[in-house]
Structure 1
Amino acid sequence: MRLDKYLKVSRIIKRRSVAKEVADKGRIQVNNKLAKSSTDVKAGDIITIMFGNKILEVKVTELRDTTKKDEAKDLYEILSEKRVDSAETP
């Protein structure tokens, strides 16, 4: 499944267009490699997303084409969520 679609379906990022934009700005890594919105994601992959002052690291546990809001949390496991100072962000 494409990275941008996974982020939308799992509701980590609310819109696919926003997920694509974040990925294209170089703020997402899959298994410690810079990822594009078209990067293929599979179960077991580690996704690191750099939001403004937060770094979120999740493990993909399941892939689905669609999901209900309350089931979206089952698609990933949060490994870490760190706040960073604006001086530290690249």
Structure 2
Amino acid sequence: MRLDKFLKVSRLVKRRTLAKEVCDQGRVQVNGRPAKAGTNVSVGDQLTIRFGKKLLTVRVDSIAETSRKAEASQMYTIVSEETLSESSSDETEEVS
């Protein structure tokens, strides 16, 4: 399944167009590598998503074309959730 669709169906991101934009900005990694919206996602893959000052790492547990709200949270397991400090985000911006 495409990465942007997985992010939307699993409700990690609210809309698919927003998921595509997040991927295109380089804020999503699949198994430690930067990923584009069309990257294939499989069960067992590890996704790292940067939301502002939050870094969320999840493991893909299942894939479904559609899901209800109650089923969406069962599609992934949160591995870690970090809050980024301002100094580390400033350093990242300077390197870019």
Normalising by structure 2, report the TM-score.
0.92
Amino acid at match of 2:73: K
Aligned to 2:30: 30
Q: Percent identity?
A: 50
Counterpart CA distance in 2 for 1:35 and 1:75 is 19
Counterpart CA distance in 2 for 1:72 and 1:26 is 24
Unmatched tracts of structure 2, length 5 or more:
none
Determine if the alignment matches structure 1 residue 62 to structure 2 residue 62. Answer: yes
Find the residue that maps to 2:58 and give its secondary structure.
Answer: strand
Counterpart CA distance in 2 for 1:88 and 1:70 is 35
Counterpart CA distance in 1 for 2:25 and 2:33 is 14
Count matched residues.
Answer: 90
Which aligned segments of 4 or more residues in structure 1 are displaced greater than 2 angstroms? none
Residues 12-59 of structure 1 show CA distances to partners (whole Å, capped at 9, x for unaligned) of 001000110000000000000000000000000000001110000000
Task: Give 1 or 2: higher helix fraction.
Answer: 2
- Backbone CA RMSD of aligned residues: 0.6
Aligned to 1:21: 21
Counterpart CA distance in 2 for 1:39 and 1:86 is 30
Q: 80-89 vs 64-73, which deviates more?
A: 80-89
Amino acid at match of 1:72: A
Normalising by structure 1, report the TM-score.
0.98
Aligned to 1:9: 9
